[in-house]
């Protein structure tokens, strides 16, 4: 049963191998993700994990846990507030904000934080949910 306030979270640590693989799969050639010398000269001072890679964990929660299988993305709005570095451990969260009574449409708050509680992504999503 989907109710307002219901939550789900996952924890992940980003490895160098995963970041390099995501660059290859997404065809992201930005050296901020794989070139240490370049990244040291950037405003971040070191290599960062791709924002869409971090955000993809929200999709993992939506399709696997909350609401779960049968979920289809309709909309995602995200604010990228802080960088995530290779080796960082984060927790991605989803919380039900509203459930339409007339349609299987759900609004959710979505956010990602580092283990120290620092918010790195904040947003919201709207999904269509039809349980299989």
Residue 110: per-residue pLDDT: 98
**Cα dihedral sign for 71, 75, 81, 86?**
positive
Residue 40: per-residue pLDDT: 95
Mean per-residue pLDDT for 5-16? 96
The tens digit of pLDDT for each residue in 81-90 reads 999 999 999 9
Mean per-residue pLDDT for 7-18? 96
Mean per-residue pLDDT for 41-53? 95
Q: Which residue bears the tokens 């307002």?
A: 4
The mean pLDDT value of the chain amounts to 94
The residue ranges of every structural domain in the chain are: 7-13+50-129
Query: Using the 8-state DSSP alphabet, how is residue 45 labeled?
Result: S
- Both tokens assigned to 64: 């696997």
Mean per-residue pLDDT for 45-69? 95
Mean per-residue pLDDT for 15-33? 94
Mean per-residue pLDDT for 16-39? 93
Mean per-residue pLDDT for 63-83? 95
Residue 132: per-residue pLDDT: 66
Burial of 2 (0-12, 13-18, 19+ CB in 10 A): middle
The tens digit of pLDDT for each residue in 88-132 reads 999 999 999 999 989 999 999 999 999 999 999 999 999 999 876
- CATH fold of 7-13+50-129, please? Thiol Ester Dehydrase; Chain A (3.10.129)
């Amino acid at each position: 049963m989907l109710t307002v306030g219901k939550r789900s979270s996952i924890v992940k640590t980003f490895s160098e191998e995963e970041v390099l693989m995501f660059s290859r799969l997404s065809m992201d050639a930005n050296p901020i993700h794989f070139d240490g010398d370049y990244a040291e000269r950037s405003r971040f001072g070191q290599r960062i994990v791709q924002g869409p890679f971090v955000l993809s964990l929200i999709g993992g929660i939506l399709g696997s846990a909350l609401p779960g299988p049968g979920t289809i993305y309709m909309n995602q709005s995200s604010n990228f507030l802080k960088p995530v570095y290779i080796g960082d451990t984060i927790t991605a969260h989803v919380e039900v904000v509203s459930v339409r009574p007339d349609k299987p449409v759900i609004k959710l708050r979505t956010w990602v934080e580092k283990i120290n509680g620092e918010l790195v992504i904040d947003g919201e999503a709207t999904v269509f949910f039809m349980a299989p």
